[in-house]
Structure 1
């Protein structure tokens, strides 16, 4: 029995050869889940620390408002040019002739400025979106806990109202309590 015991110990005991061999070919799911939770928690903490000071000053809000002007101005200005070309073609042709005289390097410079403006704006808005997403994700554990607590009080849960070994609680559940409406009805009927 000693030899069989040592063989079984080697296969299934503390030095589990089968388990260790299987983990060479397939990741331990439990350990992988623990690592994933740890990584997600660290990422959320990092997001939280990065965006901890999210209150904007008056100056920041003013600059944000000013930064919103160019896109609508460009869009409405372009539509305005189409309208102007239909109402006063001569005036429009004079303006376009003036634009045709602008040197090519100045057009390149304008393109670079507009590209950098919209690129920076896109990046700033993307970072603000990531901040809001991180704040929302940081609330997930609280919501899950609240849902779990609410599910404990579900009427379909077996023995949710069980009194256990508390005799006073058991007696309280089977002893009728006073019903003010019923007593009032009985008094009214008796009189």
Structure 2
């Protein structure tokens, strides 16, 4: 008994566990690892909390923060809204796009400056292409006005939009029997 208790005292005595310590050289202690991971997560959360902590601010500051968050979602949702509008009412959409074609060049430049300043990117080549396109759009202004006039005539509530007369005449003409000498010869041969 003395030998076994002495051996156990050497292995596990003095608050030590030689077997556990030896095993931990090859494999992490799961309980200690979980404790370290929990401590790390707590430190990360404390750091984030300190980073995003905002001192007491007034209503104007909160309003400006909210306003600064609007442009990107507004542009994305507005673009999706344009696609929906084009599908729901194409004539209404086409009228608006014809109107956009008449926007003067300085206004497009101003819009380009505001958007590029806000998003922090300057695409000069695209802006120069836009300038050429806008100059061409201004030359097409009379055609745009004519297009709008024609689009408004296509509305469902426009008078005469459902007039089937030309199509009715065409249908009657297509049903009229034309003389076909080859068909008549074939019919005569079949009867004989």
Mark yes or no: TM-score above 0.5: no
Which of the pair has the greater relative contact order for Cα pairs under 8 Å at 6+ separation?
Answer: 1
TM-score (norm 1): 0.38
